[in-house]
Structure 1
Amino acid sequence: MARKHIKYQGGFEAEKFPYKSLRGFLGDMEERKELAHIIEEIDTRYEVGAIARKVGMSFERGPGIYYHNLKEFSDWTLVTNVINTYSRLFRALGTTKEKVFDDFTEKAEKITSSNQDSYYEIVKDGDFEQIDLRDNDIDITRLPIPLWSESDGGRYITTGLTMCLNPETGRQNMSITRLMVQGPRQTGILITPAQDIGKNYLAHKKKKKNMALAIAIGADPLMYIVSQINAPRDISEFSYWGAIAGEKAQMVKCKMSDLLVPKRAEIVLEGEVPIDEFHSEGPFGEFPGFYSGIRKLNVFKIHRLAMKEDAIYQGMAIGKDPNEANFITSWGTDLSVMKHARRYFSEITAVRSISAVGLTTVVAIDHNKAYPGLSKQAGHFIWACPQLAKAAKNIIVVDDTVDIYSEYDILWALGSYVQGNKDISIVEGTPGVIIDPSEPWGMGYIEEDKTLQTTTTTIIDATPKYGIFSEGYKRGIVDSPKEIKRKVEEKWSHWGIDKYFV
């Protein structure tokens, strides 16, 4: 697999919103001093994963990491932690923390099954087609795919934008699936019946046809974010890219199927998922923070590998929060839930999947619209919401005076407003997640005739309660005078205090 090695010299052309490529976003990060470079040799066996996790733990302050020299992969470079902060996520979405839900809902509501084609265009050539390998010439073991975690059963692609078609509508689904390297031209792939990719697979199986699949690695940040949006079955996720960006997403038709992939991806794999072939897969360090079991899962047969001559490999660490993969997935979920809430439950002002991609979720309600029972109603709405129905297990309801992006604020609300005998509701028999380790099927996988197992949903009302015993609340929350706070905010940089915050 001859290719030109890239020695990064700060030469990526910085893009601004809408970012159209990984390299353009890296250039913007470089200008903002958000991209750290490791020049010495780093091992893709565990070392990349350890670095990525340590950066992820420094949440909101962590840089992207660009690895210049990789042990056993001397002609490759690699990047992690690209979208692991709020500031970079909001830049990728072209919005702010205060406006993110309103902006997304306004743009997403415009997309329908009949007009979605106006939000993307099919262009002729992909940037990734400088090297084009077929069948026996392919060897993905020569890509610098990390061995992420101590007990992982092998190397895993964790940034694969996975494309498949709904054979009944012809519409394409885009998601992120983990892929375990099982040989030069094969990976394992987790396909669950409850997901769109699983529904598409079962539809292909019913027709007795293998399912075409394409994997794009190293795309722009917005493409990764919209891949996690819970879109209707008849709408392709990349249409949301066009709606959010305000211009058409540029897609390229694959050579071996009708699937579309992002024009500026670094690497593209094409192939198929046979309907009658399975292989042992796992263990894998999953998003709840524990390892999956070993099961017979579907396989992805690779028939084409196309990539840039100086392709950059992009990876994401997965496991216990916080990490980049969970962060992106959680935000796709949160945007989808808020789009739903804006239409059906206007008192909900914000949602945050705070841990394990929604297993613990915080929801804020408008304190100006509060009425008895609203918080419990909001909690039930969240677990019943289609976008979270199989994930929301522990739901904390606060009012919008609490900053749901501050763990300190959330813990303060729990300590100040919750009485266990009155403010905790338990709902048994709700849909569960197959890799929740606390559930009967936890961290294993299930057969297609057992698509769901049940869990117990807990709703915690952490909002103020006013009544005969509310004297402490009436005296007010400790704070400085508003006019003094404004003055301090205005003078903060002038005093030079901000430079000490790192």
Structure 2
Amino acid sequence: MRTLPPFPSLRHFLSWSAETQQFQRIADPVALRHQMTAVHRKVLEAAGPVLQFDAPVLASGALSKLPVVVNLFGTTARVAAGLGVEEAGLDDLGAFLAALRSPAPPDGLRDALSRWPMLKAALATRVKLVNSAPVQQVVHAGDQVDLHTLPVQTHWPGDAAPLITWPVVITRPYQSEASAVNAYNAGVYRAQVLGKSRLIMRWLPHRGGAAHHRTWAAQGQKTPVAVVLGADPATLLSAALPLPETVSELTFAGALGGARPRMVAAKTVPLMVPADAEIVLEGWVSPTETAPEGPFGDHTGYYNRAEPFPVMQITAVTHRENPLYLSTYTGRPPDEPAIIGEVFNRLALPTIRAQIPEVHDLWLPPAACSYRMAVISIDKRYPGQARRVMMALWGMLPQFSYTKMIVVVDRDIDPRNWDDIAWALATRMDPARDVMVLENTPMDYLDFASPLEGLAGKMGIDATTNIGSETGREWGAVMQTAPEDQAFAAELVNRLMPELGG
């Protein structure tokens, strides 16, 4: 699958970013409190480079010894690169993900041989265990642990405390073996710094880390956890991808990375951790102790309220010599999660088409939090088809259960073009006939517009051309310029007015 060189560590990806003029170091002192987020946002909105702040200013006013890297995935091209491909290769990668969910048996020897790249990728997921690792060149344990020495940002004026925003949190279920990496879950959950050696782990109940925690807590046991800071790009993105539950994020990272993932035994907890990461926080999450997490600025553009989440006691901090600290912010789009979401939208399309074949294209507008609204273009063939597609999408993948508005358009409409969407709504949709409203359906509890927490309505809008029994009126014909006239106009304008670009 890969068309780019392997990036076995964050540093390899930064080197590639520098070679492709997508990396900028900042020597000026920049405060971790608010200032760094402001600079990051300014650069991200301009589709700018990866940033490395070499002089982060701690809350005490002292300079941190650790540089901070931000805007790693600030463009869709860098997200694709983190997955190992150029943007043009995302469709093939999406097809690979679709095959993972519903693999079809090979049709003869030729078909089996054609799947060799997929087999090779699967073999690359076997973990390679090592006895020593760069991430354990320096070890601080017990009383030596001090999270305040890390350059953790405070992003927004209303934030309650410094917040770790790009951790890959590794857990395993109760009674699994520490060596059984295939059983691990790796998720990206934000973590609030609570003190020198304590974090608040914000994993929502439906996430894999929370599910593993429940298996330990049910036995009255604390949960072993490793928080990886500065993982390689394949591991970072695998932890964020909506993979099938049977696919381990850490082993899938091997398929993306094109090489077997290197893991090493943690120093103080029974877990394996990525050998080539920058920093690992090891510790245990209490089965009972919680603390109020937040408020923090969130991807909705609002502050979420403080809520109780489990507390993690840090038993060791291991890191490379001269480590880098990877960070980001979340807020009203654009932000890095929204840009990653654009790419994941494209990756999901083959999986969606496998279940709903009439879907031609789909867009989740980043401005709508990347999941709360969807625009779908379809090849319409029969009455009621648009409604069937809406219902199928809401019930197909868990992430679409939080999509509260779906607009369905015909194939001649570009679902990424607001002007096209507005025209379809204005000329093909009747509010009394073509709007479907559902009540009391699952919703993100961060949706403050919902009348009840976790329950809300959903709206489907059929903006397709009505056919058959959907209307009793004759439908107008769409006006279009003939192809030969378009070609004539393009040649004439290019020759007489080249500054217009044809």
Q: TM-score range, shorter-chain basis?
A: 0.7 to 0.9
CA contact 1:111–1:240 (8 Å) conserved in 2: no
CA deviation string 1:272-307 (max 9, x = no partner)? 110011112211111111111122221111111111
More divergent stretch after superposition (337-346 vs 397-406): 397-406
1:104 shift after superposition? 2.7
| CA distance, structure 2, for counterparts of residue 252 and residue 100 of structure 1 | 31
SS at match of 2:331: coil
Identity of aligned residues (%): 23
Query: Residue in 2 aligned with 1:9?
Result: none
Q: 1:131 to 1:341 in 2, by over 3 A?
A: same
**After superposition, where does 1:205-284 map in structure 2 within 5 Å?**
205-284=217-296
CA contact 1:177–1:190 (8 Å) conserved in 2: yes
1:200 and 2:212 matched: yes
Q: 1:303 to 1:228 in 2, by over 3 A?
A: same
SS at match of 1:202: helix
Q: 1:16 to 1:95 in 2, by over 3 A?
A: closer
CA deviation string 1:313-335 (max 9, x = no partner)? 11111011110033335644764
SS at match of 1:327: helix
| CA distance, structure 1, for counterparts of residue 86 and residue 419 of structure 2 | 21
CA contact 1:357–1:391 (8 Å) conserved in 2: no
1:485 shift after superposition? 9.5
CA contact 2:124–2:255 (8 Å) conserved in 1: no
CA contact 1:351–1:361 (8 Å) conserved in 2: no
Q: 1:378 to 1:209 in 2, by over 3 A?
A: same
SS at match of 1:318: coil
CA contact 2:98–2:351 (8 Å) conserved in 1: no
Query: Residue in 2 aligned with 1:129?
Result: 136
Q: 1:165 to 1:116 in 2, by over 3 A?
A: farther
Query: Residue in 2 aligned with 1:53?
Result: 41
Which of 24, 44, 68 is residue 32 of structure 2 equivalent to? Answer: 44
Report the residue type matching 2:134 in the other structure: D
1:91 shift after superposition? 2.1
1:242 shift after superposition? 2.5
Report the residue type matching 2:478 in the other structure: K
Give unpaired runs (5+ residues) of structure 2.
Answer: 104-120
| CA distance, structure 2, for counterparts of residue 359 and residue 177 of structure 1 | 18
Give unpaired runs (5+ residues) of structure 1.
Answer: 1-14, 443-452
Which of 119, 126, 130 is residue 120 of structure 1 equivalent to? Answer: 126
1:476 and 2:480 matched: yes
| CA distance, structure 1, for counterparts of residue 204 and residue 261 of structure 2 | 28
Q: 1:400 to 1:141 in 2, by over 3 A?
A: farther
1:363 shift after superposition? 4.3
What TM-score comes out, normalization by structure 2 length? 0.82
More divergent stretch after superposition (354-363 vs 196-205): 354-363
Query: Residue in 2 aligned with 1:380?
Result: 391
| CA distance, structure 2, for counterparts of residue 96 and residue 469 of structure 1 | 46
1:246 shift after superposition? 3.8
Between structures 1 and 2, the one with greater helix share: 2
Cα RMSD, aligned residues only: 3.4
Query: Residue in 1 aligned with 2:459?
Result: 458
Query: Residue in 2 aligned with 1:18?
Result: 6
CA contact 1:316–1:325 (8 Å) conserved in 2: no
SS at match of 2:364: strand
| CA distance, structure 2, for counterparts of residue 79 and residue 454 of structure 1 | 38
What TM-score comes out, normalization by structure 1 length? 0.82
| CA distance, structure 1, for counterparts of residue 266 and residue 488 of structure 2 | 60
SS at match of 1:152: coil
1:79 and 2:69 matched: yes
Structure of larger gyration radius: 2
1:426 shift after superposition? 1.3
1:305 and 2:317 matched: yes
**After superposition, where does 1:421-500 map in structure 2 within 5 Å?**
421-440=432-451, 453-465=454-466, 468=473, 470-471=475-476, 474-476=478-480, 483=487
Q: 1:301 to 1:361 in 2, by over 3 A?
A: same
| CA distance, structure 2, for counterparts of residue 480 and residue 322 of structure 1 | 41
| CA distance, structure 2, for counterparts of residue 334 and residue 152 of structure 1 | 33
1:158 and 2:170 matched: no
Q: Number of paired residues?
A: 466
CA contact 1:55–1:62 (8 Å) conserved in 2: yes
Q: 1:307 to 1:382 in 2, by over 3 A?
A: same
1:69 and 2:55 matched: yes
| CA distance, structure 2, for counterparts of residue 123 and residue 402 of structure 1 | 51
